[in-house]
Amino acid sequence: MKRIVITLVTCLFLISLSAQEYPFSVTKTGSGKQALIFIPGFACSGEVWSETISELKEYYTCYALTMPGFSGTEPQPNPTFNDWKTQIAQFITTEQIQSPILIGHSMGGGLALAIASEYRDILKKLIIVDALPCLMALTNPGFKHNPNNDCTNIINRITAMNDEQFIQMQRISVATLCTEASKHEEIINWGLKSDRQTYAQIYCDYSNTDLREQLKTITIPTLILLEPQFKPIESVINDQYKNLPSAQIKYANKGLHFIMFDDKEWFINQVKNYLGNQ
């Protein structure tokens, strides 16, 4: 009987999400009092968080998102970073998820920062995983957001690629992002299953994003976990986060961008210690 009740509750939850027609997919795991919302990075599935969630689901309710157009999720017309920020905030309020903790990787970390800067009253904490408020400023210190950014060229280039060219691009990319070779094919497949138009549009849009000034409005506790390659330019990182002085910044011991795979034990310990007894 208990199993039947749990199954019915799960089905009703999925029906509720479908009825709201959220543009992203949501997978719910666990039933703890404190909610965690996991936002994956660019072109990634919510499955990027599966191992992390397996360590936390006993004590937390975990929501893993996959953004529209990524990893086989139905694409939206004209997707934007700003719209996704708003839609995730609407999901939290509509589903009445009380004071969730956002955990975002890469672009998902950027979304978490953007949500917290505008909707800080609905959140409890942030965990930002290998993300910066302005990625382009790393290579262009004078970078400024372009309000009239034109994505036509990159959209045309990406959508014009044949399958072999797109696969090759994914393979080259993953080698620079993840040292855990057993995860490479999984990451590549997420990209291959992504809608090309969304891939190009969001890449262009996110590259034009600068959240540095918006950090001033974030008042909730924030943990920032970064790959070790950022440690030698710590002063640059600190400058990017200077408007969020209360944030804790920590660097992994090994690996690349996918810290949750490359330095898994360190990553899980940092997350658990930060969450404490929520």
> What does the pLDDT read at residue 153?
96
Q: Is residue 14 part of a domain?
A: no
pLDDT value, residue 4: 36
pLDDT above 80 for 150: yes
Domain membership of residue 263 (yes or no) is: yes
pLDDT of res. 13: 39
Answer yes or no: are the C-beta atoms of 264 and 222 closer than 8 Å: no
State residue 20's pLDDT score. 55
Residue 1: inside a domain, yes or no? no
Q: Which residue has the tokens 């017309």?
A: 77
Tell me the CATH number at 225. 3.40.50.1820
Comparing CA positions, the residue from 24, 16, 14, 44 lying closest to residue 87 is 24
What is residue 81's predicted lDDT score, i.e. its pLDDT? 97
Determine, yes or no, domain membership for 95.
yes
pLDDT exceeds cutoff 80 at 90: yes
Q: pTM for the complete prediction?
A: 0.92
Work out the widest C-alpha separation in the chain, in whole angstroms. 63
| φ and ψ of 26, to 5 deg | -135, 130
b/e sequence 14-43, b meaning 16+ C-beta within 10 Å? eeebeeeebbbbbbbbbeeebbbbbbbbbb
Residue with tokens 């924030």: 222
Q: What is the pLDDT of residues 42-81, one digit of tens each?
A: 999 999 999 999 999 999 999 999 999 999 999 999 999 9
Beta-bridged to residue 48, according to DSSP, are none
Q: What is the mean pLDDT of the chain?
A: 92
Mean pLDDT value across residues 25-45: 97
Q: What is the pLDDT of residue 229?
A: 97
Measured CA to CA, the distance from residue 111 to residue 41 in angstroms comes to 9
In a domain, 89, yes or no: yes
| Domain membership of residue 174 as a residue range | 20-275
Three-class HEC string of the chain: CHHHHHHHHHHHHHHHHHHHCCCCEEEEECCCCEEEEEECCCCCCHHHHHHHHHHHCCCEEEEEEECCCCCCCCCCCCCCHHHHHHHHHHHHHHCCCCCCEEEEECHHHHHHHHHHHHCHHHCCEEEEECCCCCHHHHCCCCCCCCCCCCCHHHHHHHHHCCHHHHHHHHHHHHHCCCCCHHHHHHHHHHHHCCCHHHHHHHHHHHHCCCCCHHHHHCCCCEEEEECHHHHHHHHHHHHHCCCCCCCEEEECCCCCCCHHHHCHHHHHHHHHHHHCCC
The answer to the question of residue 9 being in a domain is no
* 122 is a domain residue: yes
The position carrying tokens 């599935």 is 45
Structure tokens at 195: 């809608």
* pLDDT > 70 in the chain, percent: 92
- Tally of domains in the chain: 1
What is the tens place of the pLDDT at every residue in 104-125?
A: 999 999 999 999 999 989 999 9
Label residue 278 by pLDDT band (50, 70, 90): low
pLDDT at 120: 83
Distances (CA, A) of 8 to 11, 13, 16, 147: 5, 9, 12, 47
pLDDT at 193: 97
pLDDT, residue 21, reads: 77
| CA distances from residue 132 to 88, 169, 203, 225 in whole angstroms, order as listed | 19, 23, 15, 10
164 domain residue, yes or no: yes
Confidence at residue 277, expressed as pLDDT on a 0 to 100 scale: 62
Reported as a pLDDT band with limits 50, 70 and 90, residue 275 is very high
Asked if pLDDT for residue 6 goes beyond 60, the answer is: no
pLDDT tens profile 221-246: 999 999 999 999 999 999 999 999 98
State the helix-helix crossing angle for 184-192 and 163-175, rounded to 10 degrees: 140
